[in-house]
């Protein structure tokens, strides 16, 4: 039998698998009671349009603060600014009295401008420039040292300006032996020597690390070892070596864990446009997340029956965390305007929707992955019906610029002028990689607040 390549076999996929994103009550209220306002904002301010919700961010911060208080710990939170560029979040940090973790002069300046005190700013990132080191030095910020040469440059700066640098030494986790970040055991010894011979220029305040996985065990064990290292350093005369920075990477739960498990079991290339496959996905349905993940870490038995929290309390060690994504959980969403729809249901079984914007807004594409929670059709967000199967592409000239390769079952036929809503985008899925490719202007951000159920929506452009 002859096969006609121009007429692909129509595959009956049945309904698309639903990965329904969690919705904070404030988000529900926005989508259901204020959909026409969102539509108007999107028409007025262009596509994509990012909505940011500082009230939700504040709730997330307070959840972490309550955990530290419950455990009787002096815990500090540094919001990892790289996860979102909106000014409203550092503003909230200043109000809440928490710090900000930055890795560039631009981020440092934004944190200061938001009202965050220099002492509450943490500076991370590899081999920091002289400008950034000097800024941190003058503002008495906490500098996470990533290499011996960086420490030597910092010491020289501190000595010449008669100041003292507040320093954490960043460790390369044993479980990440191929990471380019952090000090090895040999480099640590050299760094400690440097601190010893320049005690007036350096104040060693503790140790830091950042694990890219989500293992509670690895994080807790490393933290326990670094507490020991603090005690050794104290014995060597570094009396102020009392802090362990556990880094970021506290996971976020985007969808129901059971649904997530079922999704992974049935996932197959046929469910994606062009049979696309990926190297892996963020654990969107992780079971323990946010403040509960911090609880697990503090409860983790690191030696005998002693938990990390007990060990920290016993030795008067302060714990720092640097969450980005976890503080932004549910604190934003993104609207895209539908420009056109290629309805290929008859030939290929699904449609290709083109929106104004590009996949660079959803930075998972950076990791050869996909932001999987289902996009919603504004005005139809309550419906479970699936009448229209479609993937979503961006308005660029790249074939691979797809916001959603996966075929999504939408509750109504999609038409030009509709708005697609990607939920929970504040953590990395907004602006990490946005670019003015094709001379596109960067998208606006609108800060939205809802003071109570009955009240009107208040909005302003971010930064005003
Ligand atoms: C990116 C980063 C963070 C934040 O990570 P999240 O996964 O967003 O919590 C914290 N610390 C350092 C050093 C980082 O590079």
The rounded Å distance from CA 301 to ligand 1 centre is 24
The rounded Å distance from CA 322 to ligand 1 centre is 6
Mean pLDDT of the chain: 94
Instruction: List Cα–Cα distances, 105 to 123, 130, 351, in angstroms.
Output: 10, 10, 45
Q: Which pLDDT value is given to residue 12?
A: 52
* pLDDT, tens only, 234-277: 999 999 999 999 999 999 999 999 999 999 999 999 999 999 99
When pLDDT is cut at 50, 70 and 90, the band that residue 453 belongs to is low
pTM for the model: 0.95
108: three-class secondary structure by DSSP: helix
129: three-class secondary structure by DSSP: coil
Beta carbons of 392 and 375 less than 8 angstroms apart: yes
Structural domains in the chain plus CATH codes: 25-53+330-461 (2.40.37.10), 55-251+288-321 (3.20.20.10)
* pLDDT, tens only, 355-377: 999 999 998 877 889 999 999 99
Percentage of the chain exceeding pLDDT 70? 97
To which residue do tokens 């197959």 refer?
Answer: 268
In a mutational test of the pocket of ligand 1, which residue from 79, 173, 210 has the highest number of ligand atoms less than 8 Å from its CB?
A: 210
When pLDDT is cut at 50, 70 and 90, the band that residue 456 belongs to is confident
Report the range of poorest mean pLDDT among 203-217, 304-318, 319-333: 203-217
In a mutational test of the pocket of ligand 1, which residue from 246, 249, 332, 366 has the highest number of ligand atoms less than 8 Å from its CB?
A: 249
Instruction: Examine the pLDDT at 108 and tell me if it is beyond 60.
Output: yes
Residues with CB under 6 A from ligand 1: 80, 82-83, 101, 124, 210, 247-250, 322-326
**51 vs 177: CA distance, rounded Å:** 39
Residues 6 or more apart whose CB falls under 8 angstroms from that of 355 comprise 47, 48, 336, 337, 338, 339, 392, 393, 394, 395, 403, 420
Residues 6 or more apart whose CB falls under 8 angstroms from that of 109 comprise none
Active site positions, annotated: 397
* pLDDT, tens only, 205-242: 999 998 888 889 999 999 999 999 999 999 999 999 99
Q: For ligand 1, what atom is nearest to the CA of residue 325?
A: 8
Instruction: Examine the pLDDT at 308 and tell me if it is beyond 60.
Output: yes
| Region at 26 (left for phi over 0; alpha for psi -120 to 50; beta for the rest) | alpha
Q: Which pLDDT value is given to residue 9?
A: 42
330: three-class secondary structure by DSSP: coil
**137 vs 399: CA distance, rounded Å:** 47
The rounded Å distance from CA 214 to ligand 1 centre is 12
The rounded Å distance from CA 191 to ligand 1 centre is 23
Instruction: Examine the pLDDT at 461 and tell me if it is beyond 80.
Output: yes
**Average confidence (pLDDT) over 86-107:** 98
* pLDDT, tens only, 29-55: 999 999 999 999 999 999 999 999 999
């Amino acid at each position: 039998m002859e096969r006609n390549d121009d007429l692909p076999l129509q595959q009956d996929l049945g309904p698309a698998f639903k990965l329904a994103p969690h919705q904070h009550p404030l988000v529900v209220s926005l989508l259901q009671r204020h959909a026409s306002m969102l539509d108007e904002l999107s028409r007025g301010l262009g596509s994509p349009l990012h909505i940011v919700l500082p009230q939700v961010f504040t709730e997330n911060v307070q959840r972490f603060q309550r955990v530290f208080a419950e455990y009787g710990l002096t815990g500090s939170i540094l919001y990892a600014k790289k996860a979102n560029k909106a000014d409203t979040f550092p503003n909230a940090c200043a109000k809440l009295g928490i710090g900000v973790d930055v890795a560039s002069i631009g981020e440092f300046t934004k944190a200061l401008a938001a009202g965050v005190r220099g002492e509450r700013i943490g500076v991370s990132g590899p081999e920091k420039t002289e400008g950034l080191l000097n800024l941190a030095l003058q503002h008495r910020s906490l500098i996470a040292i990533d290499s011996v040469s960086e420490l030597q440059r910092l010491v020289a700066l501190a000595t010449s300006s008669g100041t003292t640098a507040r320093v954490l030494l960043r460790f390369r986790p044993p479980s990440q032996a191929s990471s380019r970040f952090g000090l090895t055991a040999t480099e640590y010894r050299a760094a400690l020597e440097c601190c010893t011979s320049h005690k007036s220029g350096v104040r060693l305040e503790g140790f830091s690390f950042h694990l890219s996985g989500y293992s509670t065990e690895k994080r807790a064990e490393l933290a326990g070892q670094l507490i020991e290292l603090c005690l050794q350093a104290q014995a060597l005369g570094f009396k102020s070596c009392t802090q362990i920075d556990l880094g970021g990477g506290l996971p976020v739960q985007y969808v129901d864990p059971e649904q997530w498990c079922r999704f992974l079991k049935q996932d197959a290339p046929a469910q994606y446009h062009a049979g696309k496959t990926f190297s892996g996905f963020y654990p969107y349905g992780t079971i323990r997340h946010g403040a509960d993940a911090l609880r697990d870490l503090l409860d983790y038995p690191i030696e005998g029956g002693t938990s990390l929290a007990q060990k920290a309390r016993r030795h008067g060690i302060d714990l720092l965390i640097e969450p980005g994504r976890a503080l932004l959980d549910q604190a934003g969403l993104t609207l895209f305007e539908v420009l056109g729809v290629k309805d290929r249901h008859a030939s290929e079984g699904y449609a290709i929707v083109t929106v104004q914007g590009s996949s660079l807004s959803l930075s998972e594409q950076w990791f050869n992955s996909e932001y999987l929670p289902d996009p919603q059709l504004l005005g139809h967000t309550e419906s479970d019906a699936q009448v229209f199967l479609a993937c979503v592409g961006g308005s660029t000239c790249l074939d691979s610029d797809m916001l959603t390769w996966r075929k999504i079952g939408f509750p109504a036929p999609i038409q030009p002028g509709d708005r697609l809503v990607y939920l929970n985008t504040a953590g990395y899925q907004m602006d990490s990689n946005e670019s003015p490719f094709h001379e596109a202007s960067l998208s606006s951000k609108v800060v939205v607040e809802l003071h109570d159920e009955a009240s009107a929506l208040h909005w302003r452009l971010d930064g005003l």
